[in-house]
Structure 1
Amino acid sequence: MAGSDGNRARLITRFAPSPTGPLHLGHAYSAMLAHDMAMAAGGTFLLRIEDIDQTRARPQWEAQILDDLHWLGLTWPTPVMRQSDRGPAYDAALDALWQRGLLYPCTCNRRDILTAASAPQEGAPMGPDGVIYPGTCSGKPRSGPRPTDSALRLDTSLALQGNDAHGLPDDVPTTIGDVVLARRDMGTSYHLSVVVDDAAQGVTHVLRGEDLSDATPIHILLQRLLGLVTPTYRHHRLIRDEAGKRLAKRDDARAIAIYRADGASPQDIRAMVGLA
């Protein structure tokens, strides 16, 4: 982050929650880290609502997220970007990849993938999206109009050929596999939408949990394939419960709203996650 004041002012971070449940201590930690980093550099902290899963997203959760973040003392420019408004941008990215033959349609369900990927003595290999896809549908046609009635996967091995592979781990195809870039019921996926949206918002630094570090090579690859700038990635520690298990949205007992109702202050929350 060294440089002139002008360079420092251009630092942009973001926090991008999904409105499918309450914010917990882990969310607060990640959001405050990103906000603190931007403020210290004279930059900008952005909030983005990742609501591509409209079957689970709820307006009341989005309202609670905004309220909790304001209560924590975080500020951001408005209007807030929502992924549910970004369909055309995702379509354009998918069209570009499809036209290069880098995507293929996939009709496998989770049971199909688990059955095909499992080795009796070792179990199924795991990647950032769960079981690594074994390539069952990779031979399907890739010509004609881009399909919208099935999932679309990135042919990772093909995508890694040429200069786009420079600096990326050689084992990406086996440790990550052919990730889904478009789901039939959403029109996009986390991997595609986060890359397209970070570029659209000019995000320069991404702070996120170490549980997402395995996904970073695929995001860098997508940025290169789409001609997008790669931000600086930093992966922070995870906030865990007393048993050492990382917090998830089902951990309502760690929800910020519960601490607020019990009389905690924003400084108390900072102390709980080690930011006091």
Structure 2
Amino acid sequence: MATFFGEVLSVYSRAVEEEEEEEEEDEQIRREIEQKRCVEVHWLSQTDVGPLPCSELIVAAGPNATGFLSAYVLSSGGWPAVAWLSLWNERSRGSGPRDTAPAPEEPSCVLYRQKQVLICQCSCYVAEDQLFQWTEKVLGCVQTRGVRVTVLSDCSAAEYKSSDYLSGSSSAFLRCLKTDTHTHPVSCPLLERPNISAGLAAAVLSHCQVQRIPAVLYLCFSDVLEPDSLSMQAYRPAVSAVMKLDQSPGAEVLQKITRAGSLQSNLYT
């Protein structure tokens, strides 16, 4: 810049420096958010550290899916917890961000094991940006060679699209999707077009399709969004194809599961 007397002076502007500082602050914030939203696996025993040998992996997402496994499988005993997953997002009720403390009293995502069967129960919300790493973490807990994956997922009947929809029927029903490598018989009709699967269940199935892991996704369409004994029963043929189920659980077990769901959905509690 030239002065009135012709002297050339250097011009100093803080605009560039302020922009660089803002970019560094934004980058730091992004790193902190990514770190905060990481999904971590916490093993409960030094002897049970993945990847575990496994022939069957059952993943349950949703109150009726997790409720069925709790009532008809885990309630019989003999299913020790081997690991739990911690994650944080705006809607999750699980452990806090990158929690390094011991497992909470009731983790929202737990892995149970009995012999060659591994069960993953997920009752928390997994955000869209966490789906990929959640799936990688869970599948990383097992030796995928020779494993077959079964996914149970709750869906709202209002989202089901079909020209011959089961009008007037309030009972829950199953539809399924499977990977190309899944050659075993399925327990219900395939999901008709234009219906699609989304969220956690779709992420697991997509991962299995890419990695060529035999997998089948069972979608339970129901009008009941909270644990319901009739809706839970819809999963019986799907799980029976994987493992032998015990006789029907006692009324106390079912009441405990359904009561817990009704209390969580109560506006005044």
Which TM class, normalised by the smaller chain length?
under 0.3
Structure with greater proportional strand content: 2
Q: What's the TM-score, normalizing by structure 2? A: 0.25
More helix by share: 1
Work out which of the two has the higher radius of gyration on C-alpha atoms and give 1 or 2: 2
* TM-score after normalising by structure 1: 0.24
